[in-house]
Amino acid sequence: MPKHALFGLDRLTRTHKLSAAGIAAAGAAALAFTVVPGAEAGQSTGQATAAHVQPVAFSSTVGTAAQTQQATIAKQADASAKAGKAEAAAKAKAAAKAKAEAAAKAKAAKERAAQQTASRSTDRAALPVAAKTPVKTYADNLDGWIRQSLDIMAAKGIPGSYDGIHRNIIRESAGNPMAINNWDINAINGVPSKGLLQVIAPTFQAYHVDGTSWDIYDPVANITAACNYAADKYGSMDNVNSAY
């Protein structure tokens, strides 16, 4: 082969290489432009990427964040509702318990009061009559002695009145419970009349009334025994108008 032909071939080869490189670069650029999604005529690769790739990625990120936030809010609302229901249930349970305890206390108090009332009634029923009835007091004088004797006489069924007893006492002893007759026939016989109604010892002992003293000079015992004797002999001390 002639030398010039080799040189020409050599020159052509470098030129061809340069051309081929340019064509390859252009083809790569065209290929890159073509494969970008959404690339249209007149759009550059950067424009297509900005128009189609970036908005899609941004929209996806924003949507995911919003969904996450909504899910979080929903969970918080659900948890708050559950907590509110639990608190309301606990309050209702506590109120019911307090009400039940109050009812139990009221019932127990009522039962205690009923038991105490029944106990007092039982205790009172067990007391003797003397303990149930207030003790009546009498003056320690002629009026008190007569009134006490009349109460005893009424309990024993012995008749007599205040006026009849008082009238006979004044005539017999002038109201002196220690009076004694040392001059009449009874005194001569050794059994003088004694006390308010001038009763001799045998009569006092025979007509003594239970519950009174055995002392013949005791005012109440003397009056009661004398009235018991007068009721037996005259119907009542009211019927006695002289020595008896």
Spell out the per-residue pLDDT of the chain, length 244, in tens. 444 443 444 444 544 444 444 444 444 444 443 444 444 444 444 444 444 444 444 445 556 877 787 878 878 777 778 877 888 888 888 888 888 888 888 888 888 888 877 777 666 666 565 555 678 999 999 999 999 999 999 999 999 999 999 999 999 999 999 999 999 999 999 999 999 999 999 999 999 999 999 999 999 999 999 999 999 999 999 999 988 8
pLDDT at residue 97 in the model: 85
* C-alpha span between 30 and 26 (Å, rounded): 6
pLDDT at residue 133 in the model: 66
pLDDT at residue 195 in the model: 97
Residues, the chain: 244
Q: Name which of 60, 62, 54 is nearest 38 in CA terms.
A: 54
DSSP state of 161: -
- Residue 197 near residue 168 (C-beta atoms within 8 A): yes
Residues 6+ apart with CB under 8 A from 160: 150, 153, 227, 230, 231, 236, 237, 238
Q: What is the pTM of this model?
A: 0.47
pLDDT at residue 198 in the model: 97
pLDDT at residue 34 in the model: 42
